[in-house]
Chain A
């Protein structure tokens, strides 16, 4: 057990979770106090001792599934007296022929033996029954058969299993199932919008459960095939803050959206507290002298003026063309979430034309909502709908250049991929001369800069700083430093 636990914790650390020595000890102690046969108890015990942030839970869960797959714990429990359970051994089926198992692929399951295949029709029927009366055991059995029948797992391939999941779900005709379930529940529920809605969510939940069961089944087979540590690397999910915004999958994008709001809120609270508690302003001479009268003119008790740090005025100019749109959305959301830290925030978006969108944010107290409206309402296409930084910046300088002063901080967002148009770096030089600072946030990794049609080098000499900003964590750090 200790061995598996150490491997498991190494994996958590590799995925970015901060697990300290104390927590490792706690987990090991907790494991001695619970019934190891029950996976859910073990999961609860380990999560209570190792995971101290709810956002880290998905990472923990996916690693847990890999390391403590059903067969894995069974083996560890078989012989709890010895600590020397070889981790490689435990991840294979406990009963005999561990070597041969991996080769079998389709004949997969070791102990449960007589899993001879069922026909697709039978399977559909079993699936339907499992969905309707929904006991977890039925569902698991269906998942086992489904994976057996459709996933066609190739032993030894270094994949995370997403493809197998997709193949199984497609063959099971999950979309059809969803329709059938909706139809069935619509027939039996009363004609009230509430009940209908509740029934719909019910169907969604059931389908999600099925998906999870199949995913789990596939993962268990992969663990049996390749061993836990190796599989863990393939399925490792980054923390939401660390996901690369430019290359996020649709799923990861949803996670990002979800992580953004609490992150922005926490940042706002932190900054507000910092401002309130920040060190005092300069010495208030009049007040100090007045106080000194009671000590015979000796200024013992210094009085200070209230702090007046000048709040900067933020001007965001964001490229919202396809490639960087989501990055721009996140940044605008983040900046507006802490808008109270600035004297004023104005925002502009462009593709090859430029439009001011400040009003959208003024209308609504929820930055997320305003950001969602940008795409529909901003007028940003002048010609062909390909980013043209030179044009947009020239446009900005002619129309709004006179509003820039020494208190303005200009932030330009984009990958500087100019589609081989003119870069017009003199516009940025002009901004730099008038503004307090000009930052450029680039969502591409540094190594890609200046490759292809990226013209960031032409602007670079006139920028206060170019910041590589690929994940929410980097973005949060940058926005936090602004205030």
Chain B
């Protein structure tokens, strides 16, 4: 099969002298190197990360809150020794906060300084001068593109921006470049890894999805959750971790408003360790339920489900 290596193709488009070497040799290497950073990946996560690197494509990571979407980007950054540049999205995010902004105060100063020193600069020269890189304030996206060292770009909670703002991202995601009307096009000098996370509060546009690989991180199975607890919570015994993981899974089986996430599981495990519990009894569990569940109605549901049944 003769397919051109996508990294090679992209490097050519960006006009790079040499093709930046991929970070990972195969998916198994992703698993081991992330494990060194205390991030336990599932085969799906490893595959998607590996492919993102090889295909030089961004990954869109979706899933319920607190399952390790942001942590994945952080772990990848640490594992590859890259700088993590983060763009937190919110409603009302615009170009000047995401891409770049002209430092107009500095521009004003420059104009005034020119006038006072009697510098007879022509308008054209002045214009060239104040729209130079010196007067540009790079925001996260431009910063990631201009970086000369390896970076991991994390665009967090991309579903929060409006549909129109999403379009801002498209040029970066597919071409790894930013167009600035006064300056021209800024192209990446390396191939950054890009992660976008979303909680799926709204449908993202087709255009955005098409440019990304897709990874859904759901709740982990019992074994992985147990391992996560073991690696993240000091002083927890294997038996307790296993028990915690199983109880949490049984709670996720119930019809709740918000299911306990991995981060809440970890909080719970830490609490139980601090309280000196070696196994989960009914009373301690009932007393610490509010750590796992964040809605009163959910707590009531669980209590009814568990303790109602026993008394009957």
The residues of A with any CB-CB pair to B shorter than 8 Å are 1-2, 18, 20, 22-23, 26, 28-30, 32-35, 40-41, 44-45, 47-49, 51-54, 57, 83, 190, 192-202, 204, 262, 265-266, 269-270, 273, 277, 366
Contact = CB atoms under 8 A, between A and B. Distances in A.
A304 B251 CA distance: 52
B51 A193 contact: no
Given A26-B57, A193-B307, A33 B243 contact: no
Contact of A22 (B62, B210, B280, B281): B210
B309 A32 contact: no
Interface string B284-312: 01000000000000000000011101100
A20 B209 CA distance: 10
Nearest to A49: B213
Nearest to A270: B202
B227 to A, nearest CB: 17
Given A34-B51, A47-B44, A48-B213, 14 more contacts: A20-B210, A28-B3, A32-B1, A35-B26, A41-B27, A45-B47, A48-B59, A54-B62, A83-B1, A192-B281, A194-B285, A199-B246, A266-B203, A269-B201
A135 B282 CA distance: 31
Nearest to A369: B297
B143 interface: no
Contacts of B211: 22
A73 B211 CA distance: 28
A44 B44 contact: yes
A194 B200 contact: no
B213 to A, nearest CB: 5
Nearest to B5: A29
A192 B280 contact: yes
Main secondary structure of the interface of A (DSSP, over half): helix
A1 B54 contact: no
A54 B216 contact: yes
Most buried by B among A48, A199, A270: A48
Contact of B202 (A30, A45, A54, A269): A269
Contacts of B54: 30, 33
B209 to A, nearest CB: 4
Nearest to A204: B253
B47 A198 contact: no
A288 B243 CA distance: 68
Given A41-B43, A198-B250, A262-B200, A29 B213 contact: no
Nearest to A265: B201
Nearest to A46: B47
Interface string B247-275: 10110010001000000000000000000
B169 interface: no
A273 B162 contact: yes
Interface of B: 1, 3, 6, 26-27, 43-44, 46-48, 50-51, 54-55, 57, 59-60, 62-63, 162, 200-203, 206, 209-216, 243, 246-247, 249-250, 253, 257, 279-282, 285, 305-307, 309-310
A385 to B, nearest CB: 29
A48 B48 contact: yes
Contacts of A273: 162, 202
A197 B1 CA distance: 52
Nearest to A40: B43
Nearest to B47: A44
B279 A190 contact: yes
Contact of B55 (A2, A26, A51): A26
Nearest to A31: B1
8 contacts: A29-B55, A33-B51, A41-B43, A48-B214, A53-B214, A194-B306, A195-B243, A204-B253
Given A23-B210, A49-B213, A197-B305, A266 B201 contact: yes
A57 B217 CA distance: 13
Which of B59, B63, B216, B306 neighbours the largest number of chain A CB atoms within 10 Å of its CB?
Answer: B216
A28 B27 CA distance: 17
Contact of A194 (B26, B43, B282): B282
B216 A194 contact: no
A291 B201 CA distance: 40
Contact of A193 (B200, B213, B306): B306
Contacts of A49: 51, 55, 213-214
Nearest to A29: B3
Contact of A30 (B51, B250, B253, B281): B51
A277 B200 CA distance: 21
A54 B69 CA distance: 15
In this complex, which of B201, B215, B250, B279 has the most chain A Cβ atoms within 10 angstroms of its Cβ? B250
Nearest to A21: B210
A51 B214 contact: yes
B216 A34 contact: no
A269 B198 CA distance: 15
A33 B282 CA distance: 50
Contacts of A28: 1, 3
B250 A34 contact: no
A322 to B, nearest CB: 24
Contacts of B253: 201, 204
B3 A57 contact: no
A80 B216 CA distance: 30
Given A52-B209, A198-B243, A269-B201, A193 B310 contact: yes
Given A26-B55, A193-B307, A193-B309, A198 B282 contact: no
Contact of B47 (A2, A20, A41): A41
B249 A198 contact: yes
Contacts of B210: 20, 22-23, 52
Contacts of A1: 1
